[in-house]
Every structure is written in structure tokens, then in C-alpha cells.
Structure 1
Amino acid sequence: MSTPKQRLATFANQVPLFLGLVLLWMLLWGSFSWLNLLTGMLLAAIVSVGFYLPAVELGLRLNLWYTLTFLVRLGFDIVRGSLQVAVLALSPRYTPSNAIVAVHLRTRSDFILTLTGVSTSIVPGAIVVDVDRVRSTLYLHVLNVHRPDQVERFRNGVLDEERRIVMALGSREDVERLRRVRGEDRSVQDQRARDQHAHEKRKRGGTA
């Protein structure tokens, strides 16, 4: 049985989502009125109760510098993506070559998973087509992919987006997990580089 403190924390986590649904309803109508506000609150309550999902734990943490960095980079990516898609649309030599790319995020927060998917999808050139919430994995349809290195570059870009979101809005647990997993990934990459270097050295020695 949950304690009063736990129930209060759950309620506090749901309030921003409830207000977000009301705001979305107002934006869809494009005008503010008391009728729209009341109907938005009613529909938000119906959606919250009738289509209940597990509570999203919000870290309630905001780093202004990293938030500004995230927003500036997101704006830059939107402009760059728009120009790239425009060039592809106008190019007479463009040959469609798209891909579905799976990106395994390093955090396990539903909040970070959602924000990463949304911020990636609003950049022209890629859109989320499926989400594996259990494995914290995004599946994205990506335009103009011809080589494996382009897939890896895109995947690393999404992981960088996740990192910026975590540093801006993630909980302390998200930040610690991200740093730990990045350290493990860096160790694996270093080991692969050493193995590759040793392999090339043996190959040169055998050739000689």
C-alpha cells in the first residue's frame, strides 16, 4: 500500500502531463476561451483516467545552461535538416535510399525516451516509427542512407541528443547512469581500437 508521500509524489508527476494535455487542446483550437479551457480539462481528465499509463517519473531538475545548449542545437538541427531535405527534393539525381535505424538509449526514463523521440522527429529527415519502452529503444525511419557509416553517424547523433536532454532535464539518476554507460562504451571502443591496432601490426609483420 502506498504512503501519503508516495501518492503526493505520483500526483505531482501527473500534474505537468495533465496541464500539457490541456495546453495541447487549446493549441488545436488556436484560441483561448473559458469553454475551451473547461472542455480541455474534462478531456484531459478522461484521457488520464480512461487511458491510464504507468506514471512517468519527472526528475523536476532544470539546468539552464544545458537547456539553452539543447534548444540552440535543436534549432540548428531543424534548419540544417530542412535545407538538406529541400536539396534532396530538388535534386534530379536523387536516388531514394532510406533505412529503419534502431537506437538503444542509455537511460531508462520514459520522460527522456519521449523527449528524445520528439526532438528527433521534429528535425526533417527522420521520424520515429516505433518505440520499445522495455528496452528503451527508438526505431526511426531515416532519409538518404547509403552506407553503414551514415547509419552509425545518425545513431551517434541521436545519442548526443539524449545526452543533451539528460544534462538539461534528466534526474540525478539519469545523469549518473549516462556517465557510467558512456564510460563503459568508451572502454569498449578503446579495447576495439587496441585490438585493431594489434591486428594490423601482426598483419604487417606477416607480410614482411
Structure 2
Amino acid sequence: MTVEPAATRLRHQVPLAVWLVVVWILLWGTWSWANLLSGLVVALAVLVLLPLPHVVGGVRVRPAPLLAFLGHFVVDLFASGAEVAWQTVRPQGVSRTAIVQVQLRVDSDLLLTMVAEAISLVPGSLVLDLDREHRVMTLHLLPVRDLDDVERKRAHVLVVEGRLARAFGSAADVAALEGDREGVVAP
């Protein structure tokens, strides 16, 4: 056994352990030394008893695209939240909804999951299915005004995918976005 696999394993598990401790403290609602130590014990138990496989390819974080994604995401949260709230309280109720499929361009499991989560977290859109093999996401959209609105919302999913790929994706993921822009990938 070499030192490198242990160092690699430690490099992947330390951030996860820190995250588990933070979540533990947040679940308790207050910071204390007891919560910190018990969170550390729980995190170590989870990592030892329930080992997770490593994510192939890892994560590349690019700060500028990440900030751009987060800024747009917060704006989407508020704008969509206000639109859905208005649809629920207005006298006419929800006028129309739609179920659409979107052909995604990235092929990374991690990025596909991040896109699905980002889309589902925004009010008015819910991921119903994600076909991993064909990279097709099926969404329920609320509200939609007309077919142009449906197409705008479908295109917005691709915009979110592009932002996430630029923030976290590999060079191949970014190249897939550029290839689609040139018309190489069919819709």
C-alpha cells in the first residue's frame, strides 16, 4: 500500500467531514463545543461505516462563473417565486402549465445532478425525470403563457446548464457547450 491512495482518500474525505460537521451544528441550531465534537464523531462514523465512492473527475471550481451562476440563481429564485405566488393568489388561479423535455449537452453525472437540483429549487419548475443515457430532462413548468414562453423556459434550462458547466465542469463539458453553439449537437 502506498501513501498516495491514503493521501488522496484523505483529500476527498476532509471536505466531506467538514460539511457533515457544519450540517450537524446547523441541525442543532446553536454552536457549542459539544455540538462540534459530537458532529465530528458523527461525521467520522458516517465516513467509516458508510464510505462513498469518489466522484470521477472531481470538481473544478471557477470563482467568476460560480459568482455569475449564484447571482442569476438568486434573481431567478425571487422572480419565479413572485410569479408563482401571484399565480396562486390571483382570482383566475393558475392559467396554464406545461410538461416539456430538454436535451442537455453535458455528460457528467455531477453536472446533470446539479442542473436538476438548480432547476427544481426555482419555484415554478420541477424535474419529473432525468434520462441519464440520453441526457433528456423532463420538466413541469408553472405558469406558462404561450408556446413562446414554453420555449423561453426551455432555453433557460440550457442557460442554467451552461452557467453550471462553466462554474464546475471540465474542459470537455465546456467544449460540449461550445459545440452546441456551433450547431454540432442536435436539439
TM-score band, normalised by the shorter chain? Answer: 0.7 to 0.9
Q: Report the TM-score, using the length of structure 1 for normalisation.
A: 0.70
CA contact (8 A) 1:58 1:111 kept: no
Q: 1:63 to 1:156 in 2, by over 3 A?
A: same
> In 2, distance between residues paired with 1:47 and 1:150?
45
| Root-mean-square deviation over aligned CA pairs | 3.2
What secondary structure is seen at the aligned counterpart in 2 of 1:128? Answer: strand
Q: Determine what percentage of the aligned residue pairs are the same residue.
A: 38
Count of aligned pairs between the two proteins: 187
State the shift of 1:53 in Å: 4.5
Q: Which moved further from structure 2: 25-34 or 41-50?
A: 41-50
State the shift of 1:162 in Å: 1.3
Q: 1:177 to 1:77 in 2, by over 3 A?
A: same
Q: Which residue of 1 aligns with 2:158?
A: 159
Residue 55 (str. 1) matches residue 45 (str. 2): no
What secondary structure is seen at the aligned counterpart in 2 of 1:92? Answer: coil
Matches within 5 A, 1:90-129: 90-95=89-94, 97-129=96-128
- Cα deviation, 1:150-169, whole Å, max 9, x if unaligned, reads 43322221111111112122
- Cα deviation, 1:83-140, whole Å, max 9, x if unaligned, reads 1012101211124543444434321223322322232222221233444445544443
What secondary structure is seen at the aligned counterpart in 2 of 1:103? Answer: strand
State the shift of 1:181 in Å: 3.8
Q: Where in structure 2 are there 5+ consecutive unaligned residues?
A: none
Matches within 5 A, 1:118-197: 118-145=117-144, 147-185=146-184, 188=186
Larger Rg: 1
Residue 25 (str. 1) matches residue 24 (str. 2): yes
Residue 40 (str. 1) matches residue 30 (str. 2): no
> In 2, distance between residues paired with 1:104 and 1:13?
32
> In 2, distance between residues paired with 1:42 and 1:137?
41
> In 1, distance between residues paired with 2:132 and 2:40?
28
Q: Which residue of 1 aligns with 2:86?
A: 87
CA contact (8 A) 2:69 2:167 kept: yes
Q: 1:16 to 1:182 in 2, by over 3 A?
A: farther
What secondary structure is seen at the aligned counterpart in 1 of 2:126? Answer: strand
